[in-house]
Structure 1
Amino acid sequence: MGYTVAVIGATGNVGREILQTLAERKFPADKVIALASDKSIGQEVSYGEDDILKVLDLNKFDFNGVDIVLSSPGAKVSAVHVPRAVAAGCVVIDNTSHFRMDPNVPLVVPEVNPQALAGFRKRNIVANPNGATIQMVMALKPLHERFTIRRVVVSTYQSVSGAGKEAMDELFTQTRAIFVNDPIAKSVFPKQIAFNVIPHIDSFMEDGSTREEWKMMVETKKILDPKMKVAATCVRVPTFIGHALSINIETEEPVSAEEARNILRASPGLSVIDQQSGEGYITPVEVAGDDSVYISRIREDISVENGLSLWCVADNLRKGSALNAVQIAELLVRDYLVE
């Protein structure tokens, strides 16, 4: 049986990656529909190597007859159009933050909590976590199962692609402007991003945290363990693709670097490259286009009784967004949507 699949936000960074991932993984789709806002109507997007899709108007689209929707616009757009799709009988996998903390919406990373998908029928919506959260819980899950993690302190180094195509354009334009001595123009970021880092992603909250930091905390608790304590500092850095995380954990059980290394090596979706040399760790530029979450710099933290530090890198457009959404769709088709 082939499915009819619609991709909302098909002209964005993640939408284009979703289309590519569907084709690469040979998702059982008889028909794929590209949807976006009215400013993108008529544009063409690639579906695999050979197929070109014309972008249709999301605002006027009738979702009747569509089986699965992969939604990756802004949260405000999802708030309007995801309920429309659900009312028409679709199952929606939403990549925005709008539905993630709804108690009736599963928040799923297939390698971490696939069992949560069992509750998707409550609203016919599955939420895709924040990209930085996805790669962090991928690293934490096997360690939590073995050692029981009490507390996580994470600092993120997030690429501009996480803020969209306009953000990537701004980094490119500012970098060029510095080399040719042109004025620096800012529109996406509050401060210059080229040759700089910005400790501010999403809006500020009353307690001084940003919403990105709050997302990492509450999403990790929902996915892994509500008792786990999480503190995050989220920073935008001048790289185009690939989020990096510096993660420090405290555990209930004694933890050694070697045992952690072996556990992580054996875990699905993870690749461990951890040698004490210039080639023995992974950086964001090396993960672009790769589906794995990479772990390096695994070491014991002697400042606490049971502590461990590690470095975690992944392509935020692949496993951090598109691939995770497509993997959810694959699980739905395999386990829940069969006749």
Structure 2
Amino acid sequence: MGYKVAVVGATGNVGREMLDILHERGFPADKVVPIASRRSQGVDVSYGDDTLKCQALENYDFSDTDICLMSAGGSVSKEWAPKIAAKGCVVIDNSSAWRYDADVPLIVPEVNADAVTGFTRKNIIANPNCSTAQLVVALKPLHEAANIKRLVVSTYQSVSGAGKDAMDELFNQTRAIFVNDPVESEKFTKRIAFNVIPHIDEFMEDGYTKEEWKVLAETKKMLDPKIKVTCTAVRVPVFIGHAESVNIEFEKPLSAEDARSILREAPGCLVVDKQEDGGYVTPYECAGEDATFISRIREDATVENGLNIWVVSDNLRKGAALNTIQIAELLVNRKLIQPKKQAA
């Protein structure tokens, strides 16, 4: 007996990716239901070779659904996740709405799988920010080996992290520049084509943006609250794939060679670190891949016990859809939930 799974936000970039990955990984679902807003009711989405029609969130009854994968934005999640959870359906949410709630576990399965048992408090599990997810996958094994004291993170984030409209804006601006048409900016504060923008999400009182704060808060919640973290988040003219330059200061010595060996054995990590032309991974190569790629591993002589690494991953997969489904697999594999039909 399989599970009944609902995907809320099924017409968006991440929602469609969730449907693809559910099918790719053979998730034990007897039925998958795509759900969207009322205006998208009846829209066709793909699930393997099948075409499914979206149902409206406002009209859907979750009482016989086992798992709800949500990617519909923070305001929708804040309103609907508790209602869905109250029906006995476990919500795995991809927005920022529940990440900082002490009663909601924030999970990356390769990093803190044991914390998933806390879902019973609210029947909600949070998926981290896309840039944090790949970061902590790379940091977890290094932290276990030498205890991280401080992180300096610079992100190079693709436009897909801001949604389909952002991807369209990059495409339209690039085309406009080539044909000498006016360049219009609506989604971003400045032109994104052939440019980089050191601004993601809203500014906070201390001068950091909310995106930068997310990296700090989520790394502390999932990895270690004692780690000091500072971040600069930058949007770059790339369609898919986030990259990060990470400077790490450890309590104990850790050589670059030892770090390579540790990361090669770590779950979810793939080391591509040849110190030669092209011996590293870029966002272009990581698109469509599940791994978190680590390159440019080298010692930092300016601090005691310092390393630099380059971390790249497909933000729509590991940063969002894949991680959400890995959480669902965790619930199933650890027998933390049973299909309602079977229970009945």
> Unpaired runs of 5+ in structure 2?
none
CA distance in structure 2 between the partners assigned to 1:217 and 1:76 by the alignment? 22
Contact 2:5 2:32 in 1 (8 A): yes
What's the offset of the Cα at 1:84?
A: 1.4
What's the offset of the Cα at 1:211?
A: 0.5
Matches within 5 A, 1:161-180: 161-180=160-179
Contact 1:63 1:84 in 2 (8 A): no
- 2:150 — aligned with what? 151
What's the offset of the Cα at 1:279?
A: 2.1
CA distance in structure 1 between the partners assigned to 2:258 and 2:40 by the alignment? 51
- 1:194 — aligned with what? 193
- 1:31 — aligned with what? 31
Contact 2:247 2:308 in 1 (8 A): yes
CA distance in structure 2 between the partners assigned to 1:193 and 1:77 by the alignment? 28
Amino-acid identity (%): 64
Check if 1:14 corresponds to 2:51.
no
* Deviation digits for residues 56-84 of structure 1 (CA, Å, limit 9, x no counterpart): 11122221111100000110011111111
CA distance in structure 1 between the partners assigned to 2:69 and 2:301 by the alignment? 44
Check if 1:128 corresponds to 2:127.
yes
CA distance in structure 2 between the partners assigned to 1:105 and 1:172 by the alignment? 38
* Deviation digits for residues 213-235 of structure 1 (CA, Å, limit 9, x no counterpart): 00000000000000000001000
Q: What TM-score does the superposition give when structure 1 sets the normalisation length?
A: 0.99
- 1:110 — aligned with what? 109
Paired letter, 1:306:
N
- 2:61 — aligned with what? 62
What's the offset of the Cα at 1:39?
A: 2.1
Find the residue that maps to 1:111 and give its secondary structure. Answer: helix
Find the residue that maps to 1:35 and give its secondary structure. Answer: strand
CA distance in structure 2 between the partners assigned to 1:51 and 1:95 by the alignment? 25
Matches within 5 A, 1:185-264: 185-264=184-263
CA distance in structure 2 between the partners assigned to 1:40 and 1:210 by the alignment? 32
- 2:337 — aligned with what? 337
CA distance in structure 2 between the partners assigned to 1:38 and 1:198 by the alignment? 34
What's the offset of the Cα at 1:51?
A: 0.8
Contact 2:157 2:235 in 1 (8 A): yes
Q: What TM-score does the superposition give when structure 2 sets the normalisation length?
A: 0.97
Contact 1:110 1:328 in 2 (8 A): yes
Matched residues, number: 338
Find the residue that maps to 1:112 and give its secondary structure. Answer: helix
Moved over 2 A (4+): none
What's the offset of the Cα at 1:123?
A: 0.5
* Deviation digits for residues 149-170 of structure 1 (CA, Å, limit 9, x no counterpart): 0000000000000000000000
- 1:283 — aligned with what? 282
CA distance in structure 2 between the partners assigned to 1:201 and 1:54 by the alignment? 34
- 1:101 — aligned with what? 100
What's the offset of the Cα at 1:333?
A: 1.0
RMSD of Structure 2 on Structure 1 (CA): 0.7
* Deviation digits for residues 113-147 of structure 1 (CA, Å, limit 9, x no counterpart): 00000111000101000011010001110000010
Contact 2:82 2:122 in 1 (8 A): no
Find the residue that maps to 1:45 and give its secondary structure. Answer: strand
- 1:2 — aligned with what? 2
CA distance in structure 2 between the partners assigned to 1:198 and 1:39 by the alignment? 33
Find the residue that maps to 1:312 and give its secondary structure. Answer: strand
Find the residue that maps to 2:27 and give its secondary structure. Answer: coil
CA distance in structure 2 between the partners assigned to 1:61 and 1:186 by the alignment? 37
